[in-house]
């Protein structure tokens, strides 16, 4: 097509300019700044002195970093795979329904995802309240002793993981539903003509055809849960935050509670690199499985 090159350049630049300006200010600059800050002994706000890799070398012997790192890993283990399977199960159930019932049931599963974390916190804090929570009534009827879940170190992470699955599962359900809809119905019809049992149909048709979506859900969940902060922070209020530290929480603590910008930045860089490595690994895996087809 006949193009006016100069004019096209100009319009292109005008159109990307607002985005590039915001992106530069809010993304590129802070990212570079984070790296620079991580090599300094600096308060949160104000000048610092260059200390080389000191902020990094002290991390291995930092007990709080240890807690934060392993708690994050623990949290990922507790949420990612269980959450994905719960979502798959829900999606398999929802996809069988049709019409209004389906959208109603889907809405019931999806509604928590749409709510702010504060609301989720309030609801579950109330539901699991040691004195009056309805969950405790359930424990009573089952003959189990009541537990102050969010005040007990053992129960804290599993409980927050449980609430997180409840909260974010709807998102994964939607992706699975889209994936299930994309499987052509005639494959199932062919399978039923071959007298394939329900489990074999799932094992040999649904599961392999759904695998790309499953991989996607696992990836999204993995990266999302590495960045966990909100729930842990809120449920720790009035509890024992130092036992419940996760990576972002520790960044927050170092920077905003201890006023150590440089050391906080070093932790941020570590998390940054963790996420990038996982994203890159995952990208490679996806490409390899694509090629195998």
Residues 40-79 that bind other proteins (CB under 8 A): 44-45
Looking only at residues 126 through 145 of this chain, which bind other proteins when binding is defined by CB under 8 A?
126-127, 129, 131-132, 134, 137
Q: Is 187 in the site for other proteins (CB under 8 A)?
A: no
Of 123, 139, 147, 205, the residue at the interface with other proteins (CB under 8 A) is 123
The angle at the Cα of 150, spanning 164 to 241, to the nearest 5 degrees, equals: 95
Identify which of residues 78 and 253 has a Cβ nearer to other proteins in the complex. 253
Of 49, 60, 63, 116, the residue at the interface with other proteins (CB under 8 A) is 116
Phi, psi of 160 (to 5 degrees): -65, -40
Looking up tokens 């539901």 gives 127
CA distances for 180 relative to 161, 175, 207, angstroms = 26, 9, 10
Looking up tokens 């449980």 gives 162
Q: Is 279 in the site for other proteins (CB under 8 A)?
A: yes
The piece of 22-30, 49-57, 62-70, 72-80 that touches other proteins (CB under 8 A) is 22-30
| Torsion from C-alpha of 121, 126, 131, 134, nearest 10 degrees | -130
Least distance between other proteins and beta carbon 282 (Å): 9
Looking only at residues 258 through 277 of this chain, which bind other proteins when binding is defined by CB under 8 A?
261, 264-265, 268-269, 271-272, 275-276
Which among 238, 235, 232, 239 is positioned nearest to 122, based on CA atoms?
A: 235
Looking only at residues 207 through 226 of this chain, which bind other proteins when binding is defined by CB under 8 A?
213, 216, 220, 223, 226
Looking only at residues 225 through 244 of this chain, which bind other proteins when binding is defined by CB under 8 A?
226-227, 229-230, 234, 237
Phi, psi of 30 (to 5 degrees): -60, -35
């Amino acid at each position: 097509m006949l193009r006016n090159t100069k004019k096209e350049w100009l319009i292109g630049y005008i159109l990307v300019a607002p985005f590039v300006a915001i992106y530069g200010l809010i993304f590129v600059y802070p990212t570079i700044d984070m790296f620079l800050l991580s090599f300094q002994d600096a308060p949160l706000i104000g000048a610092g002195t260059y200390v080389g890799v000191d902020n990094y070398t002290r991390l291995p012997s930092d007990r709080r970093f240890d807690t934060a790192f392993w708690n994050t890993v623990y949290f990922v283990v507790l949420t990612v795979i269980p959450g994905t399977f719960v979502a798959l199960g829900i999606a398999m159930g929802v996809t069988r329904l049709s019409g209004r019932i389906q959208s109603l049931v889907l809405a019931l599963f999806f509604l928590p995802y749409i709510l702010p974390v504060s609301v989720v916190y309030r609801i579950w804090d109330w539901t699991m309240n040691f004195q009056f929570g309805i969950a405790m009534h359930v424990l009573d009827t089952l003959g189990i002793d009541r537990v102050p879940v969010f005040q007990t170190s053992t129960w804290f992470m599993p409980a927050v993981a449980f609430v997180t699955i409840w909260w974010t599962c709807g998102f994964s359900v939607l992706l699975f539903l889209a994936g299930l809809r994309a499987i052509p119905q005639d494959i199932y019809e062919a399978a039923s003509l071959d007298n394939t049992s329900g489990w074999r149909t799932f094992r040999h048709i649904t599961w392999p055809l759904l695998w790309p979506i499953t991989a996607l859900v696992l990836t999204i969940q993995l990266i999302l849960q590495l960045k966990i902060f909100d729930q842990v922070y809120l449920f720790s209020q009035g509890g024992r935050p130092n036992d419940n530290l996760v990576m972002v929480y520790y960044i927050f603590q170092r920077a905003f509670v201890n006023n150590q910008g440089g050391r906080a930045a070093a932790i941020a860089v570590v998390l940054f690199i963790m996420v990038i490595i996982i994203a890159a690994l995952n990208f490679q895996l996806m490409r390899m499985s694509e090629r195998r087809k």
